[in-house]
Amino acid sequence: MRILVVDDSKAMRMIVSRVLRQAGHGDDTIEEAENGAQALEIIRAGVPDLVLSDWNMPEMTGIELLRTLQAEKIAVRFGFVTSEHTPEMREQAIAAGALFLITKPFTPEGFQEVLSSTLA
Protein backbone atom coordinates (compact mmCIF):
# COMPACT_ATOMS: atom_id res chain seq x y z
CA MET A 1 0.00 0.00 0.00
CA ARG A 2 1.14 3.55 -0.75
CA ILE A 3 0.31 6.24 1.83
CA LEU A 4 0.90 9.97 1.37
CA VAL A 5 1.35 12.04 4.55
CA VAL A 6 0.76 15.77 4.00
CA ASP A 7 1.77 18.26 6.69
CA ASP A 8 3.77 21.50 6.69
CA SER A 9 5.63 20.35 9.80
CA LYS A 10 8.47 17.92 9.05
CA ALA A 11 8.37 16.77 12.68
CA MET A 12 4.65 15.97 12.40
CA ARG A 13 5.18 14.08 9.13
CA MET A 14 7.81 11.98 10.91
CA ILE A 15 5.48 11.37 13.87
CA VAL A 16 2.58 10.33 11.62
CA SER A 17 4.88 8.01 9.65
CA ARG A 18 6.18 6.42 12.86
CA VAL A 19 2.67 5.95 14.24
CA LEU A 20 1.57 4.39 10.93
CA ARG A 21 4.37 1.84 11.25
CA GLN A 22 3.42 1.16 14.88
CA ALA A 23 -0.19 0.70 13.76
CA GLY A 24 0.79 -2.14 11.44
CA HIS A 25 1.76 -0.31 8.25
CA GLY A 26 5.50 -0.95 8.46
CA ASP A 27 5.62 -2.70 5.09
CA ASP A 28 3.72 0.08 3.31
CA THR A 29 5.37 2.81 1.25
CA ILE A 30 4.98 6.10 3.11
CA GLU A 31 5.59 9.27 1.12
CA GLU A 32 5.54 12.87 2.32
CA ALA A 33 4.43 16.27 1.05
CA GLU A 34 4.85 19.57 2.87
CA ASN A 35 1.65 21.22 1.62
CA GLY A 36 -1.44 20.59 -0.46
CA ALA A 37 0.09 21.93 -3.67
CA GLN A 38 3.01 19.53 -3.46
CA ALA A 39 0.64 16.69 -2.55
CA LEU A 40 -1.53 17.48 -5.57
CA GLU A 41 1.48 17.10 -7.88
CA ILE A 42 2.38 13.76 -6.29
CA ILE A 43 -1.22 12.50 -6.53
CA ARG A 44 -1.60 13.59 -10.15
CA ALA A 45 1.59 11.63 -10.98
CA GLY A 46 0.20 8.47 -9.37
CA VAL A 47 -2.74 8.13 -7.01
CA PRO A 48 -1.76 6.65 -3.63
CA ASP A 49 -3.97 4.21 -1.73
CA LEU A 50 -4.48 6.70 1.10
CA VAL A 51 -3.83 10.38 1.83
CA LEU A 52 -3.46 11.61 5.42
CA SER A 53 -3.50 15.39 5.44
CA ASP A 54 -3.21 18.22 7.91
CA TRP A 55 -5.94 20.87 7.61
CA ASN A 56 -4.01 24.17 7.85
CA MET A 57 -0.97 24.50 5.59
CA PRO A 58 0.55 27.25 3.45
CA GLU A 59 0.07 27.35 -0.34
CA MET A 60 -2.88 24.94 -0.32
CA THR A 61 -4.76 23.74 2.75
CA GLY A 62 -5.90 20.17 3.24
CA ILE A 63 -9.55 21.00 2.56
CA GLU A 64 -8.55 22.86 -0.63
CA LEU A 65 -6.55 19.79 -1.69
CA LEU A 66 -9.50 17.50 -1.10
CA ARG A 67 -11.90 19.80 -2.95
CA THR A 68 -9.47 20.02 -5.88
CA LEU A 69 -9.19 16.23 -6.03
CA GLN A 70 -12.99 15.97 -6.05
CA ALA A 71 -13.31 18.63 -8.77
CA GLU A 72 -10.74 16.79 -10.89
CA LYS A 73 -12.53 13.49 -10.21
CA ILE A 74 -9.41 11.93 -8.71
CA ALA A 75 -10.68 9.14 -6.47
CA VAL A 76 -8.47 8.57 -3.43
CA ARG A 77 -9.16 7.54 0.15
CA PHE A 78 -8.57 10.72 2.14
CA GLY A 79 -8.51 11.54 5.84
CA PHE A 80 -7.43 14.44 7.99
CA VAL A 81 -4.94 14.35 10.86
CA THR A 82 -5.25 17.72 12.53
CA SER A 83 -4.96 19.50 15.87
CA GLU A 84 -8.08 21.50 15.14
CA HIS A 85 -11.43 19.86 15.29
CA THR A 86 -14.77 21.54 15.40
CA PRO A 87 -18.15 20.18 14.36
CA GLU A 88 -18.04 22.60 11.40
CA MET A 89 -14.66 21.27 10.26
CA ARG A 90 -15.88 17.69 10.54
CA GLU A 91 -18.98 18.57 8.47
CA GLN A 92 -16.84 20.32 5.82
CA ALA A 93 -14.44 17.38 5.68
CA ILE A 94 -17.17 14.75 5.27
CA ALA A 95 -19.08 16.90 2.75
CA ALA A 96 -15.88 17.24 0.68
CA GLY A 97 -15.35 13.48 0.70
CA ALA A 98 -13.04 12.80 3.65
CA LEU A 99 -13.46 9.39 5.23
CA PHE A 100 -12.30 10.40 8.72
CA LEU A 101 -10.75 13.10 10.88
CA ILE A 102 -8.13 12.02 13.43
CA THR A 103 -7.39 14.61 16.10
CA LYS A 104 -3.89 15.25 17.43
CA PRO A 105 -2.62 13.95 19.79
CA PHE A 106 -3.24 10.41 18.54
CA THR A 107 -2.10 6.88 19.32
CA PRO A 108 -1.11 3.90 17.17
CA GLU A 109 -4.24 2.14 18.44
CA GLY A 110 -6.42 5.05 17.35
CA PHE A 111 -4.85 5.02 13.90
CA GLN A 112 -5.22 1.26 13.63
CA GLU A 113 -8.89 1.44 14.58
CA VAL A 114 -9.73 4.19 12.08
CA LEU A 115 -7.62 2.77 9.25
CA SER A 116 -8.79 -0.82 9.65
CA SER A 117 -12.39 0.22 8.94
CA THR A 118 -11.34 2.68 6.21
CA LEU A 119 -9.07 0.29 4.36
CA ALA A 120 -11.25 -2.81 4.73
What CATH number corresponds to the domain at position 63? Answer: 3.40.50.2300
Determine the 3-state secondary structure of 80 from DSSP: strand
**For 14-56, what is each residue's pLDDT tens digit?**
999 999 999 999 999 999 999 999 999 999 999 999 999 999 9
Q: What is each CA distance from 105 to 82, 84, 97, 102, 118, in whole angstroms?
A: 9, 10, 23, 9, 20
Spatial separation of the C-alpha atoms in residues 111 and 117, rounded to whole Å? 10
Rg, the chain, Cα only: 13
**For 72-92, what is each residue's pLDDT tens digit?**
999 999 999 988 778 899 899
Number of domains present in the structure of the chain: 1
Full domain range(s) for residue 84: 2-118
pLDDT of amino acid 86: 85
pLDDT of amino acid 85: 78
